[in-house]
């Protein structure tokens, strides 16, 4: 058994759960583990570019609607609980800052610098109509078979 | 370590999470893995018969109420996010169809055909007042000890 | 591989999910496994003392607010679904009692008696402004590195 690999399926796009995922990923990477974050569904939102991207891809009306209503990047995520119509996450960020905790943006950067692999789920991207040009740089694109291969090599596999 | 077994505790009854569970289950089964889905709590709903079942079992008023308010089968599940008072899931199904993705019903059938084992948690059934006659065919009925035995033989164990 | 160890990250503070976590923990402990519950974020609430604690620690206004709005202990948790403005959990407890199922409080006590290790995530405590004097006795306090060390020794690691 390879005790030096961890995988996280990041299904959630909730600020608090994404935080948890990146804290674990950074912690494991700091201990020398290989870490893979496989972002799928709502979790894909954190890897969307915040700026508007002119995409040549044809999207259905519903795909455009989903795309517009879902947050782009880490800045606009909501809390899974006590979201207070969107005020929960800014409040949580403020207490985090007060406590001297790393911001989510710093955690993502740190994960990247530590070599955490980010994989965007291609099936979810097809469904939601996301194209690679709408996503941040440095992602790999793959499906469930790829996730499973990674998980088979890991000793801790979480679904968040 | 047996790298050919996976278990999924399907706790959630949200359309999007159930989709994720069955995509992983089908993917693993297609790669030759043994896969067990242990459905508990809200996840049990997907294995309830859609048609009305005249059950001889005595249910408490609250159990009957929970039973009536919770979805039966895969057809009426809601989204965990952006459910839009029930419109979210139909919209999601439409974008899935447009993207050529398998429907949840097809994924369940495919999982079954590929030999994925479905276990319904008996403790949750007792609590919610579900009887075996209300459930679809082909389920096994067992408790947490059974889940743990399966998980001990698996190398990937997810809670969804 | 050590097949006698399990870890659960208890991120959720929802009654139904906490129930699931403790049913699994008790089941595994009954089978002779070492079990660690690593409580973080909303999951920390279940280990807060129900009574008011006069804490010398300085909290920010937001931390005090979060602290007041979040449940203390297992008694006031809500359901993740069908919460019905707080009525869902009492109803669920009633059907559980009717079905002869163990209460959450009994499950927590039983887990403790069976030697399940409870770890409170110190980073989450710092963020939320929780102090050790506000928490029930018998907890260990540690961070993600500690969780990862436990997980490396376990063969089942769940995120709930």
User: Tell me: the pLDDT tens digits for C138-147?
Assistant: 999 999 999 9
Contact predicate B122/B34, CB 8 Å: no
What percentage of residues in chain B have a pLDDT greater than 90?
88
Cβ count near B159 (within 10 Å): 25
Reduced to 3 states, what is the DSSP secondary structure of residue C51?
A: coil
DSSP state of B8: E
- Touching A (3+ Cβ pairs <8 A), the chains are B, C
- When pLDDT is averaged across residues C64-81 and rounded to a whole number, the result is 94
Residues A5-63: pLDDT tens digits?
999 999 999 999 999 999 999 999 999 999 999 999 999 999 999 998 877 778 999 99
Determine whether the interchain pair B9/C158 forms a contact, defined as Cβ–Cβ distance below 8 Å: yes
Greatest CA separation found in chain B?
47
Of the candidates A149, A106, A130, A144, which has an alpha carbon nearest to the alpha carbon of residue A47?
A130
**What confidence tier does B2 reach under pLDDT thresholds 50, 70, 90?**
very low
Angle CA(A31)–CA(C124)–CA(C44) in degrees, nearest 5?
120
Query: Does C17 lie at the interface with B, CB-CB under 8 angstroms?
Result: yes
Return the CATH number of C5-159, one of 3.90.1300.10, 3.30.365.10, 3.40.1260.10, 3.40.50.620: 3.40.1260.10
Label residue B56 exposed, middle or buried (CB < 10 Å: 0-12, 13-18, 19+). exposed
Sorting pLDDT into bands at 50, 70 and 90, what band is B106?
A: very high
Looking at the predicted structure, is the pLDDT value of residue B32 above 70? yes
β-pairing verdict for B5-10 and B156-159: parallel
| ipTM score for this prediction | 0.95
A100–C126: do the CB atoms touch at under 8 Å? yes
Residue B69 has pLDDT above 50, yes or no: yes
Q: pLDDT > 90: what percent of chain A?
A: 88
The reported pLDDT for the residue numbered C3 is 60
Contact of A2 with chain B, judged by CB distance below 8 Å, is answered with no
Interface residue B31 vs chain A (CB under 8 A): yes
**Domain layout of chain A by residue ranges:** 5-159
C101 Cα distance to chain centroid = 19
For residue A9, the chain B residue with the least C-alpha distance is B158
pLDDT band at A1 (very low <50, low <70, confident <90, very high): very low
Q: How far apart are CA A142 and CA A147, in angstroms?
A: 8
Q: Which of C150, C23, C105, A64 has its CA nearest to residue B40?
A: C23
CA-CA-CA-CA torsion sign (B20, B26, B32, B36): positive
Rounded to 10 degrees, the C-alpha dihedral C36/A82/C103/C132 comes to 50
Structure tokens at C64: 């005090």
């Amino acid at each position: 058994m390879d005790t030096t690999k961890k995988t996280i399926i990041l299904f959630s796009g909730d600020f608090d759960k994404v935080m948890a995922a990146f804290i674990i990923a950074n912690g494991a990477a700091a201990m020398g583990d290989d870490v893979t974050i496989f972002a799928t569904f709502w979790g894909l939102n954190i890897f969307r570019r915040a700026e508007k991207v002119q995409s040549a891809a044809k999207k259905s009306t519903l795909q455009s609607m989903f795309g517009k209503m879902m947050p782009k990047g880490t800045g606009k995520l909501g809390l899974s609980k006590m979201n207070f119509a969107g005020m929960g996450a800014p409040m949580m960020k403020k207490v985090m800052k007060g406590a001297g905790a790393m911001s989510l943006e710093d955690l993502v950067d740190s994960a990247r610098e530590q070599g955490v692999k980010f994989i965007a789920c291609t099936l979810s991207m097809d469904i939601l109509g996301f194209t690679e040009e709408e996503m941040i740089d440095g992602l790999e694109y793959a499906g469930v078979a790829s996730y499973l291969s990674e998980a088979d090599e890991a000793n801790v596999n979480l679904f968040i």
